[in-house]
Amino acid sequence: MIWVIDTLNGIAFGMLLFLLAAGLSLIYGLMKILNLTHGSFYLVGGYIGLTVMQRTGSFVLALIVAALAIGLIGAVIERFFLRRFHLDELPQTLLTFGFLFIFADLSLWIWGGDPIMITQPQIFAASVPMGDYAYPLYRLFLIVVGLVIAGALWWFQEHTRLGTMLRAGVDDAEIARALGINVSLLFTLVFAAGAALAAIGGVLAGPVLSLYPGADFDTLILAFVVVIVGGLGSLRGALAGALLVGLLDNFGKSFFPQFALFTVFVPMAIILVVRPTGLFGRR
């Protein structure tokens, strides 16, 4: 039974990681921006969801509002700030690092410093009995939502015109531009979509992981690990990396609790040695 619980846990956690890593990976793949503000998108998105949830009691509305708001913020940051330093990695990274701090202090100011949990939707509040233990229904919901979003993203990338443009942009932005693809618009759209995914991750994680000052940094590190393991710039890599990290982390903590701090980082180091580009990375 413990095996089942650990596996489900690993997948549920992996799905949250996927939502974070997908945006981070796509943004890097397309624009070569190492977006450190991604942690803020997650945390502020979660906080916005929290406020909507408190005001209206609707979890769905919380997800939508958070995604739209953070998507808009992402678009603004890309258009008016990052655009000025196109392909200039150091200023870009520093700029996103600066935004990380600004958002951290703003959220501390608005939402305070005590850890807060988003109330989970009432229908998923129960637990399913499982042997000596029980399993929270909300986590099963997380798995389903994660799979649906992953499927939607895959379909979008493979079967829509915009997705084709995106893949072309990732492969070679210059040639794509020469072929008449509006890369500029694509950049903004992808940045906004990545930010919105992180916000959705924040809202979905809120009832499980809680929101607190510093969650932005914590999740950012995990998202980077996933992206490094899975390979930068690939959705498939983000999904595989997220599931692998989620499962390894859970089984590692369960069977080798004394190495809890390393369950995520040791596999990353090993994969980097064996495949420096990550599982599905190119070049």
Partner 1 sequence: MTIRKTMPYGATAAPDADERPARRRVLCAITTASAVLLTLGASCVAAQAADAIKIGVLLPLSGNFAANGQQALTGIKMYFDEVGHMAAGHKLDVIVEDTQGKPDVAVTKARKEVERDGAQVLTGIISSGVALAVNDFSRQNKIPLVLSGDAGVDEITMPGPLANPYLVRTSQNGRTVAAAAAEWAYNKKGWRKVVTLGSDYAGGVDTNVSFAQAFCKLGGRVIQAEWPPVNTADFGPYLTSIDRSADALVTFTPGADGLRLGQQYAQFGLKGKLPVLDIYAGIAYEPNLKQLGDAVLGVYSSLFYTPMLKTPENERFVAEFKKRTGMLPANEGPNGYVGAHAIVDAINAVHGDLSDKLKFMAALKAVKFNSPKGEISLDKYGQVIQTMYIREVQKVDGELANVPIASYPNVDQFWPFTPADFEQFKYSWKDEKGSLTDCAKLLAKK
Contact footprint for partner 1 (CB under 8 A): 2, 5-6, 9, 13, 105, 108, 112-117, 119, 127, 129-130, 132-136, 138, 208-210, 212-215, 218, 249-251, 253-254, 257-258, 260-261
| Tokens 């392909």 belong to residue | 87
For partner 1, the closer CB: 25 or 263: 263
For partner 1, the closer CB: 139 or 193: 139
> Residue 124: which residues within 8 A CB-CB, separation 6 or more?
136, 137, 138, 140, 141
Least CB distance from residue 169 to partner 1, whole Å?
33
Are residues 249 and 10 in contact, defined by beta-carbon separation less than 8 angstroms? yes
Least CB distance from residue 87 to partner 1, whole Å?
34
For partner 1, the closer CB: 178 or 261: 261
Least CB distance from residue 119 to partner 1, whole Å?
8
- Which of 9, 30, 46, 11 lies closest to 198, judged by CA? 46
Q: Rounded to whole angstroms, how far apart are CA atoms 279 and 277?
A: 7
For partner 1, the closer CB: 81 or 218: 218
Least CB distance from residue 162 to partner 1, whole Å?
33
- Other CB atoms within 10 Å distance of the CB of residue 258: 7
The continuous run of DSSP H or E covering 14 comes out as: helix 2-31
Least CB distance from residue 5 to partner 1, whole Å?
5
Give the largest CA-CA distance in the chain: 62
| Tokens 């915009």 belong to residue | 162
For partner 1, the closer CB: 50 or 186: 50
Q: Report the half-sphere exposure of 276 (CA within 13 A, side-chain side).
A: 1
